[in-house]
Amino acid sequence: MGRLAEIGNIPSLKQLVYENLRERIISGELEPGTRLREEDLSEEMKISRAPIREALNMLERDGFTVIVPRKGAIVAEATEEERDYIWEMRGILEPYAAVKSMPLISEEKIRKVENDLKKVQENPDDLKLYMDSDLELHEMLYQNLKNHFLKDTLENMRAHSLRMRWAVENTCPGKRGDIESESTKEHLKILEALKQKDEKLVYDAVYEHLQKSKDRILSPK
């Protein structure tokens, strides 16, 4: 094996386009209903339509775009109905996943997440810190899963949740601090349950957290 520099795997254009569009949809830059014309994207990114098409197909299967045959792709709507669907899925799958993951989560990992959560509490104004910590915790709950169907579905649902969340951040900025604070408390409760290695406690803590998250995002009074 003569060659070195074997490390950096060259990602295909379709992958890059996929990640780019996905990010922009999740962040809200590409709003629901936005038309995604292949040639527009092709010109913008200075590449051909071929990888664009493949990326749009990938996004459709994730539920981020809707493709009408011979009409084109648009960014999927983020209606209240859709949000219900997302949270329904998470409500079914994530508590189960958490219990299943329990034996795969190390003590060190728990301590690290716990530590990061404390930092969040100490810096209530750092949104990025909160988002990262939130991601870290939820990924901990399913990143070790061997069942890729379960894992992929959960990751996708989480991505959708993120998109929904931004909608709230933008429309109702005042209450953000409160949301974070409550959510963080629930996160700590989940960690506590994990430490005790009590299946029912874990299941209930995750389920409760999801329910409350859903309520907070759907009706952030």
Name every residue whose Cβ is closer than 8 Å to that of residue 50 and which is 6 or more positions away in sequence: none
72: contact with DNA by CB under 7 A: yes
Could you tell me which stretch among 31-39, 96-104, 162-170, 176-184 binds DNA (CB under 7 A)? 31-39
Q: Does 203 bind a second copy (CB under 8 A)?
A: no
DSSP 102-165: GGGS-HHHHHHHHHHHHHHHH-TT-HHHHHHHHHHHHHHTTTT-S-HHHHHHHHHHHHHHHHHH
CB 214 → a second copy: shortest distance, Å? 14
Map the footprint of a second copy across residues 25-44, applying CB under 8 A: none
Task: Answer yes or no whether residue 148 interacts with a second copy by CB under 8 A.
Answer: yes
Residue found under tokens 């998470």: 90
Question: Which of DNA, a second copy, none lies near 200, with the C-beta cut-off 5 to 8 A by kind?
Answer: none
Angle, CA 81 vertex, CA 78 and CA 85 arms, to 5°: 95
Is residue 43 involved in binding DNA (CB under 7 A)?
no
* Cβ neighbours of 189 (radius 10 Å): 17
Question: CB within 8 A of 18, min separation 6: which ones?
Answer: 54, 55, 58, 59
* CB nearer to DNA: pick between 7 and 108: 7
The item of DNA, a second copy, none sharing an interface with residue 71, based on CB under 5 to 8 Å by kind, is DNA
> Rule CB under 7 A: is residue 53 a binding residue for DNA?
yes
How many other CB atoms are there within 10 angstroms of residue 5's CB atom? 5
- The smaller minimum CB distance to DNA, of residues 42 and 144, is found at 42
Residues near a second copy, by CB under 8 A: 9, 12, 50, 53-54, 57-58, 61, 63, 69-70, 81, 84-86, 88-89, 92-93, 96, 146-150, 153, 157
Residues near DNA, by CB under 7 A: 2, 10, 12-14, 35-39, 47-51, 53-54, 67, 69-73
